Structure formats: structure tokens, C-alpha cells
Amino acid sequence: MRKFESVDDQMLIGGARAVDLAEEYGTPVYVTDEDAVRTNYRAVYGAFSRRMPTRINYACKANSNLAILRVLEQEGSCIDAVSIGEVEACMRAGFSSERILYTGVNVSNHELSALVNRNITINIDSLSELERLADITSGASVSFRMNPEVGAGHHEKVVTGARSTKFGVPKGRIIDAYSRAIELGFRPVGLHAHIGAGVQVAEPFANVTDVLVSVAQELESKLGLQLEFIDIGGGIGIPYRPEESPMDLDVLAEAVTSRIKNGTSVQQVIVEPGRYIIADTTVLLTTVVDLKETPDKMFAGVDAGFNTLVRPAFYGSYHHVAVANKFGRPGEMVYDVAGPICESGDHIARERLLPRLEEGDLLAVYDAGAYGFSMSSQYNMRPKCREVLVRQGRTNLIREKESIDDLLSHDRIPARLMI
Ligand code: LLP
């Protein structure tokens, strides 16, 4: 968990006071510290690239704000994209097509054509997708996503590498897939697997690398195929709770790269972190609008609900909460922090010991940069909130808040219902 500075009990984010940010931009608001994004990118790139040639494909599903993408473009990152929308966002943020690898699942022919038109390399998820791609194009460089039968993750919903999931070409069919790709005139250049998200230890990454290496060896011995890259996917976890410790990137990078270097002649490793790069760079600021004492508990009612940050409601995820205008003060009372959405599952945090709260206090929800804004919705007809970028005390609005008009602008009332 990132440590934040404070002055006179006021939390600072990237050198700016949280209360000033809330006053200028309103709440709820996502605030990202630009320097932290750059530091995280350099940490993960550095750990791997010190050991072998490395490409970081930032998993932009975690956060696809154009300004964040610009920062990572400047850092030299490449992209893991999962939809044509993400591809388009990255291209508008300045990523050239060769810096984007598309890894979709259940991809339509329409989407395949759009990718081919934009010259995006496709990481193929199924034999069906391979055949359908061959009807659209030939000669292209491709890679395959394999189901490695190695899965891990912070919640069963995000374990992708287990055999029972919908993802990837089954391990037992992967050699056939490459041989069919060659037959169809494609140029297979890589092999990919993704175990899942929020993995806090290196071991599953080592295990999946063993599987990838053995398949790469088989491709070489059986098909004479020399791959250009092995892509170990993303999923590097972060410590959301104060007592957790960060992943040791050196241990992780050593486990992965030593296996690839010793077992294959593959020249490049690709890593696809989303969360590791962006999660802890961002806090969600939300105002205490209501306080309610019930027979069972104290509720701190805030203006961010699961429409703003869905992870606690959807996965039961822990996000640390601090009182930004009483920062560092000792906890006095236990609160449930709940939002304005009309469902009992709408909570941001449960049973947190916080300084005594008053209406108007400002809460900072930590580690909200990954799958925070990008999974937000307009449920209950609540417009999506603002996003702000901070750099050494200077702030920029990087996403305007939506209006009610924005929400209604796509609805159509048939004329016959207007009579
Ligand atoms: N590569 C592939 C193929 C993926 O499917 C994912 C995440 C990543 C990379 C990046 O994973 P990361 O490094 O960010 O853990 N909404 C969930 C996480 C879902 C992740 C889906 N795929 C959450 O809020 O925890």
C-alpha cells in the first residue's frame, strides 16, 4: 500500500491536498499521481529487461483513460488490448499498431475485420477464431493464447488459466493450432498464457512459464518453429491491505526469465501487467454525505457507490479507506462505508476503524486505479465521475464528468409512444 504524505492532518496526493482537489473538481473523483505511474512502469520493465529483452504490454482494461495511456506511451510501453474500443483508444493516444497485441475471447468476425484493417497483431484464442481469421486475411503474424491449466487469482471470477475456463486454446490442441496456422499461411511468432489477476506470489508464474517453455520446445522439435516471444500474461498482484507486502519483482522476473533462457531460444519475454502499473497510483475521493446509526452498526454514507467502484461489491475486494481531512488521526469508531445505490450490496468498505466522522468529511479510497473507473457504470442513472491527473502539485482534469443529458442522449422514444 502506497504511503501518502500529509500536512496538518491533510492528505496529499502527488503534492496536492486532497481537500483542495475535492473542492475544485467535486466528488466522487478519481485522482492519479502521474509520477507513480511512471515509477511503477519503470520498476516492472526494469526487473525483466535487466535479465532479457522485454516488452511490457500494459493491460489497458485496467484503466484506459487517454491521458494515462499518453503517460505510458511516453514511457515506451506497449499494449494488451481486448476490444476494438481499447485498440482505438490506444491509437488515439499515440500507440502505433505494432505496439498493440490484441487478446480477445469469443471474438466476432466483425471485430476481426476491424483489427485486420488496423494492422493489429492478433493473439488467437480458439481454433474457430483461427479459421474465421483465415477467411479475412492471410500471411499475418499471429500468436496463440493457450489454456495452460495453471490458474491463480484473487477471486474465482478472475482465474483465467484453469482448465475449466473459457479462455485459450486447450493445451492438448495447441500444437495442432500452430500447424494449422502455418498451413493457412499465417506466421506464428508467439505463445501466450494468462493465469489470472491479483496473484501475490511468484510460484504460479514460474509454473505457467514451465508450461509455456515446454510447448515452445515442442513447437521447435515437431514443427521447426522458432518463436519470437513468450508472453506470460499479466496478473501481478499488489498489497491492498496494510499488512500485505508487495510482490518481489526480482524474484518474479528471475523465475520467469531464467526458465525461458535456459529452456528455449526465444529472444523476448512479454509481460502484461494492468493492476501493478496503475492500481496504487490512484485514490477515489468521496464525501461523507450522511451518517446513520442503526441497531447493528454505524453507516458512513458517501457519494461513491458500486456505480463508481464496483470491486468491493463484485469481488468482496478490500480497499483501504482513510479520512483525507483527518489524515493520520487515530481510529475511534467502526463504520461501514456505503454508497447511494439502491442495493444492500452497495458498500465501499466494511467494518473500518476510522476517526469519528462528520458530514462533509472526505474519504480516500486507496488502490482504485485499476478496474476502478474502467468498471464503473451509470447504474441508477448516475453519471460517471471526473478523473484528475496530478503531477508534483499541479492538476489536470483528464475526464469530464458526465451529465444527465449524456446518459439520456442514446435513448429513443418511438413516435407512437408520444401520442
Ligand atoms: N492479460 C490478460 C489476457 C488479461 O485477461 C488480464 C486481466 C491482464 C493481462 C491484466 O491483469 P492484471 O495485471 O491487471 O491483474 N476486474 C478484475 C480483474 C480482471 C482482470 C481481467 N484480465 C479486478 O478488478 O480485480
Q: Are 283 and 322 in contact (CB under 8 A)?
A: no
Q: Which protein residue's CA is at the shortest distance from atom 22 of ligand 1?
A: 197
- Cell readout for 406 is 449524456
- Which of the listed residues 242, 275, 308 is the one where a domain comes to its end? 275
Closest-CA residue to 252 (of 214, 221, 284, 207): 207
Q: Which atom of ligand 1 is nearest to the CA of 237?
A: 15
Q: Are 17 and 280 in contact (CB under 8 A)?
A: no
Residue matched to cell numbers 484473487: 154
Q: Residues near 195 by Cβ (< 8 Å), separated by ≥ 6?
A: 148, 150, 151, 152, 153, 159, 160, 161, 204, 205, 208, 233, 235
Q: Kindly give the distance from the C-alpha atom of residue 139 to the centroid of ligand 1, in angstroms, as a whole number.
A: 30
Residue at 415 is within a domain = no
pLDDT at 331: 97
Q: Kindly give the distance from the C-alpha atom of residue 153 to the centroid of ligand 1, in angstroms, as a whole number.
A: 9
Residue at 417 is within a domain = no
Burial class (CB in 10 A: 0-12, 13-18, 19+), 75: middle
Q: Residues near 114 by Cβ (< 8 Å), separated by ≥ 6?
A: 84, 87
Q: Which protein residue's CA is at the shortest distance from atom 24 of ligand 1?
A: 371
Q: Are 127 and 181 in contact (CB under 8 A)?
A: no
Residues in contact with ligand 1 by the CB-under-6-Å rule are 59, 62, 80, 103, 158, 160, 194, 197-198, 233-236, 272-276, 311, 370-371, 375
Residue at 49 is within a domain = yes
Residue at 413 is within a domain = no
Residue at 384 is within a domain = yes
Residue 382: helix, strand or coil by DSSP?
coil
Q: Looking at the structure, tell me whether residues 109 and 233 fall in a common domain.
A: yes
Residue at 288 is within a domain = yes
Q: Looking at the structure, tell me whether residues 309 and 299 fall in a common domain.
A: yes
Closest-CA residue to 24 (of 386, 360, 266): 386
Q: Looking at the structure, tell me whether residues 302 and 370 fall in a common domain.
A: yes
Q: Looking at the structure, tell me whether residues 265 and 284 fall in a common domain.
A: no
Best mutation site among 272, 276, 315 for ligand 1 pocket (most ligand atoms within 8 Å of CB): 272
Q: Looking at the structure, tell me whether residues 249 and 223 fall in a common domain.
A: yes
- Which of the listed residues 230, 250, 275 is the one where a domain comes to its end? 275
Q: Kindly give the distance from the C-alpha atom of residue 417 to the centroid of ligand 1, in angstroms, as a whole number.
A: 43
CATH of residue 293:
2.40.37.10
Residue at 167 is within a domain = yes
Q: Kindly give the distance from the C-alpha atom of residue 238 to the centroid of ligand 1, in angstroms, as a whole number.
A: 12
Q: Which residues of the chain have pLDDT under 50?
A: none
Distance separating alpha carbons of residues 243 and 180, to the nearest angstrom: 49
Q: Which atom of ligand 1 is nearest to the CA of 236?
A: 13
Q: Looking at the structure, tell me whether residues 26 and 74 fall in a common domain.
A: no
Q: Looking at the structure, tell me whether residues 205 and 217 fall in a common domain.
A: yes
Q: Which protein residue's CA is at the shortest distance from atom 7 of ligand 1?
A: 197
pLDDT in tens, 384-417: 999 999 999 999 999 999 999 999 999 999 999 9
Residue at 304 is within a domain = yes
Number of domains making up the chain: 2
Q: Which protein residue's CA is at the shortest distance from atom 23 of ligand 1?
A: 371
Q: Looking at the structure, tell me whether residues 268 and 207 fall in a common domain.
A: yes
pLDDT at 407: 97
Q: Looking at the structure, tell me whether residues 286 and 231 fall in a common domain.
A: no
CA 400 from chain centre, in angstroms, equals 21
Best mutation site among 194, 231, 238, 240 for ligand 1 pocket (most ligand atoms within 8 Å of CB): 194
Q: Looking at the structure, tell me whether residues 231 and 358 fall in a common domain.
A: no
Q: Looking at the structure, tell me whether residues 255 and 313 fall in a common domain.
A: no
pLDDT at 233: 97
Q: Which atom of ligand 1 is nearest to the CA of 198?
A: 15
Q: Which protein residue's CA is at the shortest distance from atom 16 of ligand 1?
A: 371
Q: Kindly give the distance from the C-alpha atom of residue 254 to the centroid of ligand 1, in angstroms, as a whole number.
A: 22
In this structure, what DSSP letter does residue 53 have? -
Closest-CA residue to 33 (of 47, 19, 6, 12): 12
- Which of the listed residues 275, 310, 325 is the one where a domain comes to its end? 275
Q: Kindly give the distance from the C-alpha atom of residue 101 to the centroid of ligand 1, in angstroms, as a whole number.
A: 15
CA 227 from chain centre, in angstroms, equals 27
Q: Looking at the structure, tell me whether residues 328 and 205 fall in a common domain.
A: no
Catalytic residue numbers, as ranges = 342
Q: Kindly give the distance from the C-alpha atom of residue 410 to the centroid of ligand 1, in angstroms, as a whole number.
A: 29
Structural domain of 190: 34-275
Q: Which atom of ligand 1 is nearest to the CA of 279?
A: 14
pLDDT at 159: 87
Q: Which atom of ligand 1 is nearest to the CA of 145?
A: 3
Q: Are 394 and 354 in contact (CB under 8 A)?
A: no
